Amino acid sequence: PQEIRREDYRAPDWLVPAIELDFDLAAEKTLVTARLSVERNGEHDRPLRLDGDEIVPLAVLVDGAEARWTMDGATLVVELSENAAVVETRVALAPDRNSKLMGLYASGGLLCTQCEAEGFRRITFFPDRPDVLSRYRVRMSADKARFPVLLANGNPVETGDGEDGSHWAVWEDPFPKPSYLFALVAGDLAVNSDPFTTMSGRSVELGIWVREGDLPRTDHAMESLKQSMRWDEETYGREYDLDRFNIVAVDDFNFGAMENKGLNIFNSRYILAAPETASDADYDAIATVVAHEYFHNWSGDRVTCRDWFQLSLKEGFTVFRDQGFSAAIGSAAVERIEQVKSLRAGQFPEDAGPLAHPVRPDSYIEISNFYTATVYNKGAELIRMMHTILGPEAFRAGSDLYFERHDGQAVTCEDFVRAMEDASGADLRQFRLWYSQAGTPRVLARLEQDGAGATLHLAQTVPATPGQTDKKPMLIPLRVALIGERSGAELATERLILLDGEQSSVRFDDVGEPAFLSINRGFSAPVIVTAERRAGEIEALAVSDQDPFARFEAMQELMSRDLLAAIYGGAVETGATVAAIRSTLASNALDPAFKALAISLPTEAELAEKVDPVDPAAIHAAREAFRVAIGEALADDLEAAYAGAAADPDSLDSLAKGQRRLRAATLGLIAAGNPERGTELARRQFAEARTMSDRQAAMMALGTVGGDAWDEALDAFYRRFAGDPLVIDKWFSLQASAPRAETLDAVEALEKHPDFNLANPNRVRSLAGAYAMSPFAFHRADGRGYDWLARMIVAVDRVNPQTAARFVAPLGRWKRYEPVRSEKMRAALERIMAEPSLSKDVLEQVSKSLA
């Protein structure tokens, strides 16, 4: 397969200012007629090249007459003598046989589309690249009984009834858009609709379309949508621009959701929620994803990407925007901790492995493989650093300038940074390295004190990554404070230090007493900081740092220090952790959600990033011994905290959610220290649970211990929720992620369960994704976990390559593991590689992992 390179970008030869599409829709056979008004772009005599994928032209006409055309592979090549023409093509599709879920496909009786990144070429022949913007007029006709609702982008302009029970509708989108934002939906849907009045007083009709029976589960998504629309007006001055905004929920979807102009299509798991079936985390995720897709209306749709290398232009920025929204509607401190946890769980390992790539990649084979934690989450951190460096007012001036300057255009990450510079006067030349250099920078910090003050010595290195051996020093914004050893107070005000060289020393004069170092507060830069610590320093910060993130971080640093010693064979020394947890639980100043996060041990995956080589069994054993010791030492404190965190089951406010979370965290430790007591409490919690969060937390505690109580809970859970796909997904993933040796047996049985379905991405992820993310159960010394995953990847690849390719990464880091596992992981990758006719999605990930 061919590699596409960023430096090869060329403006399109032909533009398509307008397109008319005509769909004669049916699940077995859909006819698509497309009329493209094309215009030659610049002086050249090259033919019109239209991308296609698994489609064949039934007819090609130029200005109404038979055209001269050929096929170059999948590309339709049309010779045009004039500078403008109307090119008409016709193709036939079989949506019900489209298991890749790209293009037009069938899901649970619906017909729907997914075009980003390159799915539109599976619907019709088109220059399928984001810098070709067109006005769309879409006519759909279908059997009225089977598909009573017909939706597309923009506004409905005409409808009517045809013969033999068919009907039709025409939709028009006044905003020119790239093909990846095209969408249509046809089906038997019910709508939850609500009006919204925008900041300038226009009325917008909001609609959330689902199966009739799911309507009662759409209120939270609707509320979140309205909140996000208001927030974007207030925070970014962005107003919605069409008369309608529709969201459709579908059961078969390759990822979370899609921001098609005026017609978002969602994985139903990010729309449907009821307290019985959705956990608090699900509720939060729904709010975030609804907001994210809505925010794309400006950061993505009105201003879009010039080419796919610029993906982070819309994704990094939009994640930053949804993070701001979540912080505003919930607790900012808890939000920030969670963002960093997910960056560390997903992006740091990626940046340190064979699939590392810059936020703005230089090349790809399959673009679907680049919807990564690096492009999304590290990309958001880049925007956040600019926000930190510029300050909120200048940042807002920069975003205003960006939207104003580039409205209706397809632009680059460079254009974004330039708008920030132009609006603020800041010099971001060195900062741009964050877009081009992969790898997580490391910062070493050492505070040196003298009679008069203190000097902070900083040094940075950026590790080598595939294709990038020599790195330049980055511009790293570090929020730093010094905390008095005696007073516990912040000595002088927090400073923003911009580390720009390999080494640098910063002087603090106003220090009157011995001080502790609080660095990278709020996680101001996505780097790994190693600070030289004095005796007692980290223990003190863990219970006193005023910056909530830094306080959480100090807890993690403290626990990691002692856990790592145990992993490397030292004694299990939990004294410092026990004291810090005790004081955290006893605090009246901290909210329960923060407490829950602060007392949670670093995960096995996080610890794996800190050791070399990785021995998952040793990590698990040390961490379990640690949990047992903590659970025993703190039995009374944990019981008290557990009992004290009884939440109002009918409330979804942050206090109640935090209390449920604290109950989950304490229950886990109670069960570690005393499995009998933990089982008793978990059993009771399960039986009495009125929310999915309580039920799920009880199941996790039982899953760790195992035994009859676990089996009984699984049975009860299944019987109660059979037939509810989103909840049965949880049932699968609870079993697949249980941190026990027997988990693989459960996984193998689940693969044969009648509810397992290789064609449904949610179900596949809830089994294969959950299992591969469970370090101890997956990384078996006998390698059977790897064999299972390799087989699953090959099987899924035949059905849905995009989803299959997502599971390669857990095998890809084989070089980091101890020799026995390492060799078995590599062998599993080799076996995948040996399969004939792999998709280019899987091929790219596996070959890069073996390189």
DSSP letter at 769 equals I
DSSP calls for 361-423 = -SEES-GGGG--HIIIIIHHHHHHHHHHHH-HHHHHHHHHHHHHHHTT-EE-HHHHHHHHHHH
Distance CA 407, CA 404 (A): 6
301 or 315, CB closer to Zn ion? 315
Go through the chain and tell me how many residues it has.
851
232 or 259, CB closer to ligand B3K? 259
Integer Rg of the chain from CA:
28
String of contacts with Zn ion for each residue 285-324, x by CB under 5 A: ------------------------------x--x------
- Given candidates 9, 196, 236, 255, which one binds ligand B3K under the rule CB under 6 A? 255
89 or 288, CB closer to Zn ion? 288
- Given candidates 117, 189, 638, 681, which one binds ligand B3K under the rule CB under 6 A? 117
| Minimum separation from the CB atom of position 296 to ligand B3K (A) | 6
Number of residues this chain uses to bind ligand B3K (CB under 6 A) = 12
String of contacts with ligand B3K for each residue 291-330, x by CB under 6 A: -xx--x------------------x---------------
Candidate ranges 157-165, 250-258, 436-444, 673-681; the one touching ligand B3K (CB under 6 A)? 250-258
Per DSSP, the three-state class of 575 is helix
- Kind of pairing between the strands at 134-143 and 166-177: antiparallel
185 or 746, CB closer to ligand B3K? 185
DSSP calls for 682-694 = HHHHHHH--SHHH
Distance CA 172, CA 740 (A): 55
Strand partners, 374: none
Distance CA 364, CA 70 (A): 27
Residue 116 interacts with ligand B3K (CB under 6 A): yes or no: yes
- Given candidates 259, 381, 557, 609, which one binds ligand B3K under the rule CB under 6 A? 259
Residue 152 interacts with ligand B3K (CB under 6 A): yes or no: no
261 or 521, CB closer to ligand B3K? 261
Which tokens sit at 815?
């070089």
124 or 318, CB closer to Zn ion? 318
Active site residues: 293
Distance CA 671, CA 673 (A): 5
Helical axes 692-705 vs 280-295, angle rounded to 10°: 120
Distance CA 746, CA 685 (A): 24
Helical axes 616-633 vs 654-673, angle rounded to 10°: 100
Helical axes 413-424 vs 392-406, angle rounded to 10°: 130
Calculate the CA 741 to chain-centre distance.
29
Binding partner selected for residue 368 from Zn ion, ligand B3K, none, CB under the kind-specific 5 to 8 Å limit: ligand B3K
| Minimum separation from the CB atom of position 372 to Zn ion (A) | 12
Please identify the residue of the shown chain whose CB is closest to the bound ligand B3K. Answer: 116
Per DSSP, the three-state class of 515 is strand
Which one-letter amino acid corresponds to residue 81?
S
| Contacts (CB under 5 A) with Zn ion, residues 2-41 | none
String of contacts with ligand B3K for each residue 356-395, x by CB under 6 A: ------------x--x------------------------
String of contacts with Zn ion for each residue 318-357, x by CB under 5 A: x---------------------------------------
| Minimum separation from the CB atom of position 322 to ligand B3K (A) | 9
Candidate ranges 155-163, 210-218, 288-296, 608-616; the one touching ligand B3K (CB under 6 A)? 288-296
- Residues 6 or more apart from 254 whose CB is under 8 A from it? 101, 102, 114, 761, 800, 802, 803
Which one-letter amino acid corresponds to residue 669?
L
Residue 258 interacts with ligand B3K (CB under 6 A): yes or no: yes
368 or 574, CB closer to ligand B3K? 368
308, 130 contact by CB (below 8 A):
yes
Binding site for Zn ion (CB under 5 A): 315, 318
Binding site for ligand B3K (CB under 6 A): 116-117, 255, 257-259, 292-293, 296, 315, 368, 371
